[in-house]
Amino acid sequence: MFVKLAQTALALGNLEIPEKCYQANKELEKLNFFYAATGATEKLQKMGQLAERLEDPMLKYNSSLLNSDASARVRCLVDAGQLALAYLTARTHNLTEMVEFIEQEMQDSTEIDAI
């Protein structure tokens, strides 16, 4: 019911009703994108904080992408064990401290794998 209501309201140009529908259904991914598309940066940042509390890795990563927060994106990738992607992301965004930390983590994991 809420899904159809949200779709209809969006088609008619109403932006308040879809937000309420997404909140009611706890459709956090849709709500996250909705805030990005409508330019609600404060609400988008709150979604990032909510993702941290919920410990939802995909929502955290998407929030960091939509918020243009490179350091949060690197932390998400490190937490997910994606050290190579985290390293490339940190390197691309000139996050020197994170690059050094990830290099150390990668060396440690290489040493463990050799054992």
Distance separating alpha carbons of residues 38 and 72, to the nearest angstrom: 22
> Is residue 73 within 8 Å of residue 65, measured between CB atoms?
yes
Single-letter residue type at 62: N
Same domain, 104 and 78: yes
Same domain, 74 and 47: no
Same domain, 42 and 73: no
DSSP 56-79: -HHHHHHHHHHTT-HHHHHHHHHH
Distance separating alpha carbons of residues 95 and 85, to the nearest angstrom: 13
Same domain, 51 and 2: yes
Answer with the one of 12, 32, 56 that is the final residue of a domain: 56
Domain that holds residue 23: 1-56
Same domain, 51 and 83: no
What is the residue-level pLDDT of the chain in tens, covering all 115 positions? 888 999 999 899 999 999 999 999 999 999 999 999 999 999 999 999 999 999 999 999 999 999 999 999 999 999 999 999 999 999 999 999 999 999 998 888 766 555 5
pTM for this prediction:
0.81
